[in-house]
Amino acid sequence: MTIVDRPETKIDGRWEITLRPDLSPAHDAVLELSRDGDSLSVKIESADGTGTGEGFVDGSRLSWTMTFGHLPAPWRFRAEIDGDVLEGRAEAEFGQFKMIASMEGVRAGSDARVAFREGSEALVETLTACGVEYVFGYSGGMTTSVQRSVVGQGVPNVNARTELSAAWMSYGYNRVKRRAASATLMWCVGSLHAAPVVLAAKLDSTPLVYMLMENAAVWDLRDALQDGTELYSAFKPLAKYVRRIVDGQDLPLAVRQAVLAASTGKFGPAVLDLTHEAMYQKTTIKTEPLTLPSPPAADEEAVRRTIELIKSASRPVLLAGAGVHMADATAELRRFVEATGIPVVSSGPGGRGVLPDDHPLYAGDMSGWGYFGTGTQLAEEADLWIAVGFSFSQTATASWSLAKPEKVVHVDIEQAQLGRIFQPTVGVVADAGKFLAQLSGRLEASGLRRSDGGDPARLAKIAQAKESYLQLLSSFVGADPIMPAAVGQALAQEVPPDTILVNDEGFMVPGMVFREDKYPSGFANPLGFHYDSLGSTLPVAIGAKLAAPDRLVVSVGGDGGFYYDSSDLSVLAERNLKVVCIVLNNGGLYGGRRGREHGVNALPLTHWTDLPEETDYTTIARSMGVPGERVEKADDIAPAIRRAIEADGPYFIEVMTSGSTLHLSLNGWPDPDPKTTRKFGHGDRSVEGSWPS
């Protein structure tokens, strides 16, 4: 037998290493190794300081002990060398605590590369490659295993004051960006606090990447502290995409798929349930930059049939929903309707602002929200609806009781939306902007273009209704006690062009008019409407401000909602974010009082609806570092808003109001169809009289 001597491992020299502690960001260091037989001398240089140590060599394996950095206890290192690559780990114990750090590196001056990275590094690397710009989170448990990589890779991040606020901030950021441009991170035990945001993102088509960290999967069967094994099943019905990750090798693909699912088709939430050990497992899976696919256009037959229906209609109306905003299609919508003279009726808060309010073809919104008064009437008088990005929700259709024409074209990016409630004449799977551009591209050949601006009778009806509405709004200006509609009008007058406004529960700011001179591209509400709840206003405004730092952002909410999100004032102060926070203080939950007025269960008006009158919200704001003032007279509203706009940082305004005109429900217009019975609100208990009956 021939014995072959193995070459001795080359150890001496400088090694460029990366240490990855389990509870802090990764950092780089340089090792100087010197071997003398089986003995080893080590010197380390890093941002934490320098240190020296002694150890042993066993073939390609090394071990040594040294003290450096901020810990008084010594670190024990173990490593193995393979050519010009070094891999290992370090441990330090002090009292009952142990710190662990993985370690990898290459010989200085060599071309060697470490072929792997830890799961948390791959996760954050992939988030960045997929276009995620911010991480919003709330610390706890082992979220540090991801935080270290977020910080180490320089990803901008915000620590919110609650899990709920962190998720709302990400929601607001992504809704402004129109993609999953941010992600959330939180520990399992608090993750269900943010469940309403996940559901709101699903119902309101908002991109959201929601990451929760839980215990290592090896503890699943052992009743671990803060056990999160049931969270996957809890979030599954709420999310568009959900995965539980137990193997670090899966992280690059899981993150990629989550961002893709959240940002394409009908936007929605993607949930990643991350197990702790996956953050330390090593992965060699490649991270590739993500380019989102182009949204779909309509097929030629659908476009042709739509044009034929428009040509044969005498009273067509274009119904515009939030899908027009989410597709950034307001310019294409304007181009098409101005060329054809077709009036636009929007869904309520979601579709409002697809055209400036004073555009002659904007007839207002549909159903009980009643802005300008003609939206519902024109929709019911129409012989054709071209519904684009319009979901036919309960609020837009008076519980599906409005008179519906026989011919309807329904356009949505998600196929399953078409025919859900009734059968449209033409169902079109397409992006709103692509579809409207296709229609505009065929105007010359179709003969639909008209130069007179539209039907004079319908234009006159729209203009008259707007004038009546504006007169109603003007009656609140300067009147005491202050009505909320006066605040909206002051904002409309004082704020600069393209100011972003966020209002409680996705409603529009009461009394706000989005005029052409300040909103030529319309206004997209950064907060949806189907499920958004009290407490969303200020954190969504914070997310919107971070997404659009050059625009003024104004948060307008009630005193009830402020009990949820008041802690986020400290985020404004901490980061000196220029957000104007306005709280309308009427001493109670006005929506609840309105319900009592309708005789619900014959409860007193004040039951569960009154709030403590002695609460001084302005003092609360100041105590958190946000300057502000209280307004008690209508004539003081505009000057306070001007001071807020001129302030160098955040500003708080508490307006003492009476009653509410949150939604001016102008429901008194004649019903063009005597057979139609109006239904209102989610208090309806029967589908009788609703579509498709």
- pLDDT tens, residue by residue, 662-672: 444 444 444 44
* pLDDT mean across residues, the chain: 90
Element spanning 16, H or E: strand 13-21
**pLDDT reported for residue 298:** 98
Most confidently predicted of 285-294, 426-435, 467-476:
426-435
Q: Which of 438, 425, 389 shows the shortest CA–CA distance to 312?
A: 425
Q: Which of 522, 527, 526 shows the shortest CA–CA distance to 330?
A: 522
Radius of gyration for the alpha carbons in the chain, expressed in angstroms and rounded: 30
Q: Which of 238, 243, 285, 303 shows the shortest CA–CA distance to 443?
A: 303
Backbone angles phi, psi at 502, to 5 degrees: -125, 130
**pLDDT reported for residue 2:** 46
Res. 401 pLDDT band, cuts 50 70 90? confident
What tens digit of pLDDT does each residue of 100-120 get? 888 999 999 999 888 888 999
CA dist 691 and 676 (Å) reads 11
Token pair listed for 325: 């905003």
Helices (H), 264-374: 300-312, 322-326, 330-340
**Residue 63 burial by CB count (10 A; 0-12/13-18/19+): exposed, middle or buried?**
middle
Looking at per-residue pLDDT, the higher value among 240 and 597 belongs to 240
User: Residue 603 pLDDT more than 80?
Assistant: no
User: Residue 1 pLDDT more than 50?
Assistant: no
Looking at per-residue pLDDT, the higher value among 538 and 397 belongs to 538
Q: What is the mean pLDDT of residues 34-62?
A: 92
**pLDDT reported for residue 115:** 80
**pLDDT reported for residue 468:** 86
Q: Using an 8 Å Cβ cutoff, are 85 and 104 in contact?
A: yes
**pLDDT reported for residue 4:** 45
CA dist 309 and 649 (Å) reads 53
What tens digit of pLDDT does each residue of 300-326 get? 999 999 999 999 999 999 999 999 999
User: Residue 152 pLDDT more than 60?
Assistant: yes
Three-state SS at 68: coil
Sheet strands (E) in 95-216: 97-107, 117-118, 134-138, 157-159, 182-187, 208-214
User: Residue 349 pLDDT more than 70?
Assistant: yes
Token pair listed for 199: 């559901």
CA dist 277 and 283 (Å) reads 12
Token pair listed for 493: 């007058």
**pLDDT reported for residue 649:** 97
Identity of residue 42: V
pTM of the model: 0.88
User: Residue 677 pLDDT more than 80?
Assistant: no
CA dist 241 and 482 (Å) reads 46
Q: Token pair 């001071």 is at which residue?
A: 643
Token pair listed for 680: 């209102």
Q: Which of 214, 278, 280 shows the shortest CA–CA distance to 245?
A: 278
The least confident of 200-209, 425-434, 657-666 is 657-666
Start-to-end CA span in the chain (Å): 92
CA dist 98 and 96 (Å) reads 7
Q: How many CB atoms sit inside 10 A of residue 58's CB?
A: 11
The least confident of 190-194, 424-428, 456-460, 502-506 is 502-506
Most confidently predicted of 37-51, 386-400, 618-632:
618-632
Identity of residue 18: T
CA dist 267 and 206 (Å) reads 5
**pLDDT reported for residue 592:** 64
The least confident of 206-220, 388-402, 513-527 is 388-402
User: Residue 675 pLDDT more than 80?
Assistant: no
Residues 6+ apart with CB under 8 A from 135: 127, 150, 155, 156, 157, 158, 182, 183, 184, 185
Q: Using an 8 Å Cβ cutoff, are 561 and 535 in contact?
A: yes
CA dist 43 and 32 (Å) reads 5
Q: Taking CA 87 as the corner, what is the angle to CA 84 and CA 91, rounded to the nearest 5 degrees? A: 145
**pLDDT reported for residue 238:** 96
Q: How many CB atoms sit inside 10 A of residue 440's CB?
A: 19
Most confidently predicted of 70-74, 201-205, 469-473, 506-510:
201-205
**Residue 227 burial by CB count (10 A; 0-12/13-18/19+): exposed, middle or buried?**
middle
**pLDDT reported for residue 113:** 83
Q: Provide the 8-state DSSP code for 418.
A: T
Q: How many CB atoms sit inside 10 A of residue 365's CB?
A: 29
* DSSP class per residue in 547-606: H-TTS-EEEEEEHHHHHHHGGGHHHHHHHT--EEEEEEE-SB-HHHHHHHHTTGGG--TT
